[in-house]
Chain A
Amino acid sequence: MPENGRTDTGPTAEPMIRLEQLTKRYPGQDRPAVDRLDLDVPPGEIVVLLGPSGCGKTTTMKLINRLIEPTSGTILLDGEDVTRADPDALRRRIGYAIQQTGLFPHRSVADNVATVPRMLGWDRKRVAGRVDELLTLVGLDPDTYRGRLPRQLSGGQQQRVGVARALGADPEVMLMDEPFGAIDPLTRETLQNEFLRIQSELGKTIVFVTHDIDEAVKMGDRIAIFNAGSGIEQYDTPERILTEPATPFVSEFVGSGAAIKRLTLSRVGDVPVPDWPSIGQDTHRDERAAAVRAGAREFLPLLDADRRPLGWVPADASGDVLDRGLPIVTRIGPGDSLFAALDAMLAANSSAVVVVDDAGAYRGVLDLETILSTVHTDAGPAVPRPGTVATPGTV
């Protein structure tokens, strides 16, 4: 039951980008690369186009900024039909970043980033200021990188510059075609996180292409899943794509582990953290073990004067352990995902992690139980699991 890209669940606001019956047939191809595509992109959201190779994601992007002319159909930008607008002027309003970055190899980082502002005729001072601002925004120190050539940068740094160049004159709309592809997973994750931070400040309308479901779930406010025939199978929020795949194609594309992927969507700050008593540092050391034995938990966190967790005090603590507790390896903050929390538990072979707030102060302890109940919210209450006792080791 393929659906079209009109949102019924979406905000009532006018879409920033609206594609109507957009079709592209390359000469000499027997079937269109993009076939009567309808898609609404709401303002301020990241819409991810996700689908198998060759399904027309890149073609769709190039149709939006008219690097390719549509065979038929209409493109509306902020309510205005741009299907016949001046393409160069149109593109200066739309940021464009691609996987290969396409940085100008003979121009410095600063000149690359200054491309659009210069074309718009900004004066020298304003351009220089903007370049520094953008480099800082994408996490590159202007003094260090301004004068470098693209080839004097790592792949990840080049992609940052590519994004900075696309943001040049502060376009409302950004098109990003696998902007974090072809780099190692660690750098990629850093770039994703930084980009989400930037986006939370800038609130751009973004069309983002990937063929990685994990990236789609992470980056997207909405995901449009394309099938090989360039039809939209489902256009929905990541949560709904994961919990209610509309078609067998979507379930297969999402693959196994949909439940685990949903954990990446929930922030620790958004779930109730169970109450878990703690011991203040002012408690006399001889009374600490007794305090643990008096409660229902096998371990209690020891907090310093600022309520920052120092260590775990087990019921049978003695000696040094009574002074500082067992070391806490990982502290989970409100911005971390439940997936990160679970990962920390598994890594430390324990069933609970310490949760702190942004300032590092103790908020509680997240246990396996809570995570399981979140995963199962839609499938009814978590199955009670008698016998599972939280045993915080050295997490």
Chain B
Amino acid sequence: MSFWEYLASNYLEVIGYTFEHAVLVLQGLALAVLVGVPLAVLTYRTGLGRAAAVNSASLIMTIPSYALFGLLIPLLGLGTAPAIVALTLYGLLPVVRNAIVGLREVDPAVTESARGVGMDRRRLLLSIELPLAWPVVLAGVRVSAQLLLGIAAISAAVNGPGLGNLILSGLSSAGTPFAVYLALEGILGIIVLAVVFDAAIALLTRLTTTRGARA
């Protein structure tokens, strides 16, 4: 039985897992943005704040995923919840770092003249700084998405959803010819998702960037 024949036999299952995988990554990514961007907004002005934010996010990246699950399972149990939280944490670094860079790249003359004509901090942030930093923020989201698509496979280890389940069952049937096929199916799903996510984020960047903020 060739790989393609095998795929033809279980493609519905593969599509199901791929869909789960996409949803899982989207959730982790969304949370990473919801946490990371405000974190950047709160810290980008001072050197100390920036260092604290970026260093903590980097530190999280160094925690092995099995260890992280070890910490999360007692709090969240098994399944989707610990998987989403782990992905959120791993996804933070590119988002936080890019958001800080983007906010700091806004021309000081622009922020100064905005404040000079009486714009308050909130309006300055929402109507000037974030729109101008937005393309850089989205570039961080793109990196984060690619990263999480790979990492998300590990969620199967805590009975989470996604393509990791194919790879895991491949591992458990190691030695049989199907083991390799299962792993290949998992990888194929992730590659397809990587291409789709990349295109989607590129489109999102186009649609949500005001024309003047485009580089």
List chain A positions with a Cβ less than 8 A from chain B: 65, 67, 88-92, 95-98, 100-108, 115-116, 119, 149-151, 162, 165-166, 168, 175
Across the interface, name the chain A residue whose C-beta is closest to B111: A102
Determine if A91 and B212 form an interchain contact, defined as CB atoms under 8 angstroms apart.
no
Determine if A106 and B210 form an interchain contact, defined as CB atoms under 8 angstroms apart.
yes
Chain B residues with CB under 8 A of A101: 109, 113
Q: A103-B110, A150-B212 are in contact. List 17 more A-B contacts (CB 8 A).
A: A65-B116, A89-B118, A90-B118, A96-B113, A97-B113, A98-B113, A100-B109, A101-B113, A102-B109, A102-B111, A102-B114, A104-B114, A104-B128, A105-B212, A106-B210, A119-B119, A151-B212
A175 vs B128: C-alpha distance when bound (angstroms): 22
Counting chain B residues whose Cβ lies within 8 A of the other chain, the interface size class is 20 to 34
B135-188 contacts to A, CB under 8 A, are none
B117 contacts the other chain (Cβ, under 8 Å)? yes
| Contact partner, A166, options B114, B117, B131, Cβ 8 Å | B117
Determine if A88 and B119 form an interchain contact, defined as CB atoms under 8 angstroms apart.
yes
Determine if B112 and A91 form an interchain contact, defined as CB atoms under 8 angstroms apart.
no
A91 vs B124: C-alpha distance when bound (angstroms): 14
Interface of A is mostly: mixed
Chain A residues with CB under 8 A of B104: none
Chain A residues with CB under 8 A of B131: 106
Contacts between the two chains (Cβ within 8 Å), count: 76
B51 contacts the other chain (Cβ, under 8 Å)? no
> In whole Å, how far is B205's beta carbon from the nearest beta carbon of chain A?
14
B123 contacts the other chain (Cβ, under 8 Å)? yes
A-B contact pairs, 19 of them (CB 8 A): A65-B116, A88-B119, A88-B120, A91-B116, A96-B116, A97-B113, A98-B109, A98-B112, A98-B116, A101-B109, A102-B111, A103-B113, A104-B114, A105-B132, A106-B210, A107-B210, A107-B212, A119-B119, A168-B117
Chain A residues with CB under 8 A of B107: 100, 102, 105
Across the interface, name the chain B residue whose C-beta is closest to A166: B117
Determine if B110 and A115 form an interchain contact, defined as CB atoms under 8 angstroms apart.
no
A119 vs B114: C-alpha distance when bound (angstroms): 11
A103 vs B106: C-alpha distance when bound (angstroms): 12
Chain A residues with CB under 8 A of B116: 65, 67, 91, 96, 98, 102, 175
| Contact partner, A102, options B113, B123, B132, B211, Cβ 8 Å | B113
Interface string of B93-133 (1 = CB under 8 A from A): 00000000000000101111111111110010000100110
